[in-house]
Amino acid sequence: MEEEIEAQISDLSITKKKTEAEEEDQTLIFLDSVDDYLILIQTLSSTLRQGWLELASARHSMGASRVNTALLSLNHRSAATKLDLHYPHNIDGSITKSPQFNLCKWTSTDDNNSSMEKENIEEDEQLKENINSLESENQESSLESSKGSETVASPHKTENNFQKERAKVLKMFGTLVSPKLRASQLSFETALETLVKVANVRSSILEAHDALVKDTKNLKE
Amino acid sequence: MANRAQIPTNNSALIAMIADEDTVTGFLLAGVGNVDLRRKTNYLIVDSKTTVKQIEDAFKEFTTRDDVAIVLISQYVANMIRFLVDSYNKPVPAILEIPSKDHPYDPAHDSVLSRVKYLFSAESVASDRR
């Protein structure tokens, strides 16, 4: 009988220690998330300040009438930069309430993009033909160079697509735009990347906070 | 039927904005601008003529749209509709308060930090980060 009581007491103390350890883990996750949030907001502030400064410089060189939102038409257009949402699984297999946000930059869904992809495919095929005709005598070296050219072509193709999409947006402000406007575009792109990180950290703050509140209620009970 | 839980799927979603002209222009340069077939945009430019009602309506519209995942709102604009922003508690769309040119970010007013500040001293968050 005494042994049973002692076993129950030791079980209870182990459970209590586990709960305290979990609460400490949640507290650490919460504090780290808040710290990350504040640091990211500071980074965002400085990136935005740079973007505003470059935009102001572009407005100064191009003229206020060329850099303002009055030029934005209300013709139908899809956003080139969007977000992908992903709901990760918890340890127990359940799906989290807060999603993870992923930024998808410069993904165009209009017809121009499909024709652009076709052009890129034709260019790749032509590139391969040229390489094969030049390296036809030595088979080993032709294989290596075709592999190398394929690996160089993929990031080059992505960057080409990015540049084309950026140029499409810049066309709203005229054919010839100031380099400052291009620089401002890049700054705001960087700010977007930071904002997506902020959104993810915000999700983890709220999740950790909810877990801490739940643990506190359990302890009181 | 009405109470069935939605199955989360990967899908493309927009970033909505309620901010001053320069901030909106900058983010439109980054490619987030969207105009649908009904000529509805995913942004509201706030200037001296914009009323609080217009801001409230835009906030309510963006937070109820299925295709919006993040709503960016300048903190000084969020202060005009603070009650609405603080009472919003859904995970999606995420409401992010951002600084503006003329109004720097104040962590004491941030809706996320104000929700959790009772776990800290309210002064330590604002003072340590200045």
Q: How far apart are CA A99 and CA B92, in angstroms?
A: 8
Q: Enumerate the residues of chain A whose CB falls inside 8 A of the CB of residue B94.
A: 101, 199, 202-203
Could you tell me which chain A residue has the CA closest to the CA of B21? Answer: A69
| Interface probe with B: pick from A23, A69, A77, A193, most Cβ of B within 10 Å | A69
Distance separating the N- and C-terminal Cα atoms of chain B = 51
CB B115 within 8 A of CB A24: no
Half-sphere exposure of A156 (CA within 13 A, CB side): 10
Dist CA B35 CA A116 (whole Å): 22
Subunit contact B27:A192, Cβ cutoff 8 A: yes
Give B41's contacts in chain A (Cβ within 8 Å). Answer: 74
* CA torsion angle A199 A204 A210 A213 (round to 10): -130
Torsion angle (degrees, nearest 10) of CA A129, A133, A138, A144: -20
Count of Cβ atoms closer than 10 Å to residue A25 Cβ? 13
ipTM of the complex: 0.84
A103-158 per-position pLDDT tens digit? 998 886 554 444 444 444 444 455 555 555 555 555 555 555 444 444 455 677 67
Question: pLDDT in tens for each of the 221 residues of chain A?
Answer: 777 777 777 777 777 776 778 778 888 989 999 999 999 999 999 999 999 999 999 999 988 777 777 666 677 788 889 999 888 776 666 767 778 899 998 886 554 444 444 444 444 455 555 555 555 555 555 555 444 444 455 677 677 888 888 888 888 888 888 899 999 999 999 999 999 999 999 999 988 888 888 877 776 66
Say if CB A62 and CB B25 are below 8 A apart: no
A107 lies within 8 A of chain B by CB: yes
CB A100 within 8 A of CB A88: yes
Mean pLDDT, chain A, as a whole number? 77
Task: Name B86's Cβ contacts closer than 8 Å, sequence gap at least 6.
Answer: B111, B114, B115
Q: 0.90 cut: is pTM over it?
A: no
CA distance B107 to B103: 12
Residue type, position B22, single letter: D
B11 touches B90 (CB < 8 A): no
Contact A84, A196 (CB under 8 A): no
Per-residue tokens: A7: 């076993």
Return the number of CB contacts < 8 Å for A and B.
158
Residues β-bridged to residue A19: none
> Which tokens go with B81?
């509709």
What DSSP string describes A148-186?
Answer: HHHHHHHHHHHHHHHHHHHHHHHGGG-SS--HHHHHHHH
- Residues of chain A in contact with residue B10, where contact means CB-CB under 8 angstroms, are 84-86
**C-beta atoms of A79 and B33 within 8 A:** yes
Q: Say whether the peptide bond before residue B8 is cis (omega within 30 degrees of 0).
A: no
Question: For residues B53 and A106, what is the distance between their CA atoms, to the nearest angstrom?
Answer: 33
Asked if A185 has any chain B CB less than 8 Å from its own CB, the reply is: yes
Q: Out of A72, A104, A166, whose CB is closest to B28?
A: A72
Contacts of A78 in chain B (CB under 8 A): 34
